[in-house]
Amino acid sequence: MNIPNILTTLRLIIVPFLGYSMHKERYILAIVLFAFGGITDVVDGYIARKFNMITKWGKFFDPLADKLMQITALTFLVIKDFIPVVVLIIVVLKELLMLIGGILLYTKGKTVIGANWYGKLATVIFYFAIIATIVLRIECLSNSYTTIAINIALSLAVVCTLFALVRYIIIYFKFSKNYEKDVKNN
């Protein structure tokens, strides 16, 4: 267990607290927990790369912690009718497809696909969109301009997420094809 993995574990631990705080409408606490999750994600990634502490455990659980945080926040934003359910559906389907693809690749060739810039970009934009949605909704700033701003932020996050999915599908087929060639050559 190294420092990046400890930070990832902390993110996994705060997921239920994030859900509880959103359920109880303790939005300031939810924002703090969500922002803490985003900051620790950046810090653990930096430390892992800078000090060569990248592990298979981290490659799997780091994005899992991020997605659990995002899906938890999005679920409660849908329940509170702050965002449309289609945003949650797109994110969940994307994550399920990536999970299935990752499991298939791992079982075939012990390959774990790490995060790429487009996946990181989608995550960052979703973090900002979720925090902006919570802030603008709870501060009673909700008017046509804030609704437009929230819709733009969420739309951008969804587009980046779909782009990331397409890129990961391409990578999946590339790895899958290379694995099949290696098996045939041996």
* C-alpha–C-alpha distance, residues 24 and 17, integer Å: 10
Nearest Cα residue to 98 out of 16, 162, 47, 31: 162
* C-alpha–C-alpha distance, residues 174 and 102, integer Å: 13
pLDDT value of residue 75: 97
* C-alpha–C-alpha distance, residues 55 and 61, integer Å: 10
pLDDT value of residue 180: 59
* C-alpha–C-alpha distance, residues 85 and 74, integer Å: 9
Q: Chunked in runs of 10, what are the mean pLDDT values of the chain (186 residues)?
A: 94 97 94 95 92 88 90 95 93 88 74 70 88 79 76 91 88 73 54
* C-alpha–C-alpha distance, residues 169 and 113, integer Å: 11
pLDDT value of residue 91: 92
With vertex at residue 128, the alpha carbon angle to CA 85 and CA 34, rounded to the nearest 5 degrees, is 85
With vertex at residue 3, the alpha carbon angle to CA 94 and CA 58, rounded to the nearest 5 degrees, is 30
Question: What does pTM read for this prediction?
Answer: 0.84
